[in-house]
Amino acid sequence: MNDMEVANIELKKFKKTLDMVLDCVFMFDANTFKLIYVNKGVTNHLGYDKHELLNMTLLDINPYLTKKQIQTFLTPLTSNFKPSLTLETIHQHKNTTLIQVEAFFQYIQEEDFFIAIVRNITERKQAEAKLHRDIKQAENIKKTAEIANQAKTAFLANVSHELRTPLNGILGYTQILKRDKNLTKKQKDSIQTIHRSGEHLLTLINDILDLSKIEAGKLNIIPVDFYFSAFLQDIADLMKMRATQKGLTFKYEILHPLPIAVRADEKRLRQVLLNLLSNAIKFTNEGVISFRIIYYNGRVRFEIEDTGIGIPTEHLDTIFSSFYQIGHQNQQGTGLGLSISKQLVEMMDGQLLVSSLLGSGSIFWFDILLMEAKVVDDLYQPYQHGTIIGYKSTDKTSSPFKILLIDEIWQNRSFLVNLLKNIGFIVFEANNGKEALDLAIKNLPNVIITDLMIPYMNGFELVQKVRQLPELQEVIIFTTSADIFEQQSLQIDCNEFFAKPIDTEILLNKLAKYLPLEWVFEDVDASIENTNIIGPSTEQATILLKLVLAGNVKKIINNVNQLEQQYPELAQFTTEAKKLVRNFAMSELKTFIKLYI
């Protein structure tokens, strides 16, 4: 066999191999683009037989490309600039249907032809297009959901504002009324009912808002340093009272020495513990509620155990879902507490767990990292006992303290003005930012309490402007808002922020933190019960009462001094009255004077 014959046999073998390849293999002349070889794949691919194909050029099967375009495309190969090229293009079948293909080109320099390996990519393209459509659709769905979510958040923020504003008035006034000694038991009970109902409504609003904040990823854990034992004692005291009212025993057990102060999100930790303890009391009809705290190596474990109705095993997971309630008789609540608590504990890097035996009771527990904090003077004191009726300045120069209160809604202002004036502060009121700034410059208050949503100049701008005033360098600023995303207040240069409705106890606590004062607490044994002493006439008492109601301490003292001088027989009365004025015990003073009207 000569060389030629061997070469032919080799060529045949090569072509046969190429025929077995499913892809299409083309060879075409580098100048004319005439096809000089096609494998079997090409005939299947394009519908022409081999003979027809070998009389065609690349342009015949590539209806969308011109010779010039193909030449330009292939130049990097002929100029040896690139070893190979890939192109996505379209081939036309003999029956005129179009086929999407991917072609891989190489240049064979010695023979001056191109070899192209072509693959049908119609299916791949269809899949890609579908994928693209699916992604687009998913993006659209996501976008619509995001818009809906934003709308929901905005709606909730508005509703929250609208609901909290009147609640602020209701709870504010019930807090003030509760302090009034003149009320009958029946009236006090009614006020207590209004207060409880208002608080219940507030819990519902807060729960729904918390959940939506968690969903929107806008709830943050904000750690602060606080006294740990006082914090726990406060919770235990409150819960013990509720448990006792229901005839249950409340056990508060600390199983390891606790650090004095710790760093954590005090508000959220309290929320979780109150929720678990309230549930324990709610779902227990007799027996014991145990609140156990175990502290070890910077970690704390809280355990809340009850001897209540228990939870069926099949519900142990689902009780943590939003709005889920097992459906006991007369059940109250929203079914949100556990869902929120679980997520809050997770945000504190813990896990809320439960174990329960139907008919015997349940135990909820979680462990979290709780770093010890340094004990410093101005740590938040969570609890103060007794009713505050006045204050004594510990720094004689600045008393009585002046407070500027800004809120567009008069109901919100009025209960705070009432409270603060009764305690002996001088209070200025404004309902918009502009008026507030003028009043601040004119009266140089010690404290400014402003809502963030006020007309003309909002709370943010007002705070900024006040902070730039040299004469108000020392002023203490508290901001308040009924909006849910109060975190924004962290960006503002204020000393404290209060979510509305304002808890007056916390507000007073904060005033004591920043102002040089000591509270005067109600003296339970105040001698005002003593009605045997000789008192003023009805007219004299009425005049004095008016002055007390107006809260003008100076005028009250002048008036009492006058009575003392003109009517020596009133000495006992005037001494008692002066004692009450000095202690800023205004509501006691009112009660005392009313005895003579």
CB of 375 to ligand ADP, least distance (A): 34
CB of 199 to ligand ADP, least distance (A): 14
Q: Which of 105/283 has CB closer to ligand ADP?
A: 283
CB of 578 to ligand ADP, least distance (A): 52
For residue 240, count CB atoms less than 10 angstroms from its CB and return exposed for 0-12, middle for 13-18, buried for 19 or more.
Answer: buried
Question: CA-CA distances (angstroms) from residue 505 to 393, 419, 428, 469, 484?
Answer: 19, 11, 21, 30, 21
CB of 254 to ligand ADP, least distance (A): 21
The DSSP annotation for 117-134 comes to EEEE-HHHHHHHHHHHHH
Q: Which of 257/327 has CB closer to ligand ADP?
A: 327
Question: Which residue type occupies 320?
Answer: F
CA Rg value for the chain: 41
The DSSP annotation for 223-248 comes to -EEEEHHHHHHHHHHHHHHHHHHTT-
Q: What are phi and psi of 528, to 5 degrees?
A: -65, -15
Q: CB nearest ligand ADP: which residue?
A: 333
Q: Which of 262/319 has CB closer to ligand ADP?
A: 319
CB of 422 to ligand ADP, least distance (A): 36
Q: Which of 169/308 has CB closer to ligand ADP?
A: 308
Q: Which of 265/306 has CB closer to ligand ADP?
A: 306
CB of 322 to ligand ADP, least distance (A): 8
Q: Is residue 449 within 8 Å of 416, Cβ to Cβ?
A: yes
CB of 138 to ligand ADP, least distance (A): 32
Site of interaction with ligand ADP (CB under 6 A):
275, 279-280, 283, 306, 308-309, 311, 319, 324-326, 331, 333-339, 362
Q: Which of 223/310 has CB closer to ligand ADP?
A: 310
CB of 303 to ligand ADP, least distance (A): 12
Give the whole-angstrom CA distance, residue 468 versus residue 209: 35
Phi-psi region of 333 (alpha: psi -120 to 50; beta: other; left: phi over 0): left
Q: What are phi and psi of 450, to 5 degrees?
A: -125, 140
For residue 195, count CB atoms less than 10 angstroms from its CB and return exposed for 0-12, middle for 13-18, buried for 19 or more.
Answer: middle
Q: Which of 306/407 has CB closer to ligand ADP?
A: 306
Q: Which of 303/451 has CB closer to ligand ADP?
A: 303
Q: Which of 140/355 has CB closer to ligand ADP?
A: 355
Neighbours of 302 (CB within 10 A): 24
Instruction: Check the CA dihedral 340-382-281-178 and report its sign.
Output: negative
CB of 472 to ligand ADP, least distance (A): 46
Give me the sheet containing 261-264, strands edge to edge: 224-227, 261-264, 371-372
